[in-house]
Amino acid sequence: MAAKPWGNYYRWIIVFVGFLCLTSICSNYIIINFTFICMKNDMTNAVPDNNGTLRSIYDYTPSEKKWILWAVALGTMLGTIPINVLYVKFGARLPFLLAGLASIISTGLIPWAAGFNYYLLIVLRFIQGLAYSADFAAIGLITVRWAPLTETATFIAVMTSFTGISSTATNSVTGLICESSLGWKWSYYLHAAVGFALFCLWYIVYIDHPQDTKRVSCKELTKIEKSKSAAHLDKSTDVPYRKLLTSPVIWCVWLNAFFEMSAVVFCSTYMPIYFHEVLEFGVTETGFWVALVLFIWLPVRWVAAIMSDKITCIGERAKMLIFNSIAVGGTGAFFAVIGFIPVEQKYWSVAAFTMTMCCVGVNSGGFYKCGVLHARQYAHVVIAAIQWTKCVALFSAPAMVAVFVSTENIRTQWIGVFLVFGGLMQIVNLLSYCIFTDKPAEWTNSDEKPVSKA
């Protein structure tokens, strides 16, 4: 029987569908960041405030907004470990489908909950966070099962781009819907409907093991399995959590990830404030520059990943250290100097923020790749833990700002934040030179003869 036309490229179909589903879950929880603007103008069932004037029931106080945002972070933190257990036991197909359905249902119910009961809204946001905790574990498992070792960075770069794409797409679509006759609620309904279609596609397309389907050609399967040990390909391998959690290499990966993620969270959260309050850009200019900075790193990310995988004239460990030095060391260096740039040279500040995010875009060839190549078949646990560090950064970045910044429009107060994060990134990057390796860990049983089907 002739091979299916997609048989030699089925892994890329998996990556594409997985990427769309990752984007859907992320988009669902960030819709509210934009609809806050529209919701407060919805005077349906308005209530009188203390002054006797009517106030929208959707006009939340800063404290209420804080808990609406924190509920997702808390759900993601608490969901990471149980989701990983489900992935290890059942693979990604069903657990990720259930996470998608949870995200879809909670998203579709949010407009009703927002008008019915604030605490029910918090519960639904928590469920969105639980669903989001499945994203990074899915990236890890898809990479472990479907990526040839020579395409590891590319797989990671493509799938971890879902954050930037979801922000761009969701904010654009939600803005149009909010200003249309449909109103803000329909943004949730539309996202839920699209998500349902995508996860139906996921259930149809995704297979947990390439060797279990005839959709994959022999040539494709050989490429996927090349140089992987029998233990790597074993379907029933238990995760050696104790050995993994005591590995200096894995801890170094997580430390590099945490401090870099802290810089990313800081930029996505406080860059609009810094541009508007310190650099004195207008609202429109602030929106333009922030969008540009947060988008421009995506093509850098894809090009860097391809270079990491395709360059063969440099050893794998040397490449890893070079890319990590840019991703963590370079990010820290640009980050540290931002606070010293005078307001009068604000476009240099924009350039420094841009270079910071571009350096971040190189991380798939640095600590991410180290984690995957060292943990091999257990890489999904390592990558899921990186997601957990991102959740911790959602608390640590605001805490650092609270320590140093009391008046947002005073540039000198921000210097401490930039220096602390920048300095810590330099330290953990230097630590990686002593610890990082491209070799599989002993506990991956990699001493077994690699599978070869050539």
What pLDDT, in 10s, does the model give residues 62-72?
A: 677 778 878 88
Category of 149 on φ-ψ map: left (φ > 0), alpha (ψ -120 to 50) or beta: alpha
Mark whether 273 and 399 lie in a shared domain: yes
Range of 375's domain? 239-440
Q: Each residue of 152-164: pLDDT tens digit?
A: 878 888 888 887 7
Mark whether 295 and 160 lie in a shared domain: no
47-48 vs 54-55, strand pairing mode: antiparallel
Is 45 exposed, middle or buried (CB count within 10 Å of its CB: 0-12, 13-18, 19+)? exposed
Domain's final residue, options 164, 195, 225:
225
- Count of positions (residues) in the chain: 454
pTM for the full predicted model: 0.76
Mark whether 91 and 171 lie in a shared domain: yes
Mark whether 106 and 255 lie in a shared domain: no
Give residue 226's pLDDT.
73
pLDDT exceeds cutoff 80 at 413: yes
Mark whether 208 and 253 lie in a shared domain: no
Mark whether 246 and 289 lie in a shared domain: yes
The string of DSSP letters for 348-412 reads: HHHHHHHHHHHHHTTGGGTHHHHHHHHHGGGHHHHHHHHHHHHHHHHHHHHHHHHHH-SSTT-HH
Give residue 7's pLDDT.
64
Beta strands per DSSP E along 5-57? 47-48, 54-55
Q: Tell me, yes or no, whether 416 lies in a domain.
A: yes
Q: Each residue of 360-375: pLDDT tens digit?
A: 888 888 998 898 889 8
- pLDDT tier for residue 233 given thresholds of 50, 70 and 90: low
CA 436/CA 318 separation, integer angstroms:
10
The string of DSSP letters for 75-122 reads: HHHHHHHHHHHHHHHH-SHHHHHHHHHHHHHHHHHHHHHHHH-HHHHH
CA 295/CA 276 separation, integer angstroms:
19
The SS3 assignment for 447 reads: coil
The total domain count for the chain is 2
Residue type, 390: K
- pLDDT tier for residue 43 given thresholds of 50, 70 and 90: low
Mean pLDDT of all residues in 338-348: 90
CATH number at residue 419: 1.20.1250.20
Mark whether 203 and 259 lie in a shared domain: no
Mark whether 155 and 285 lie in a shared domain: no
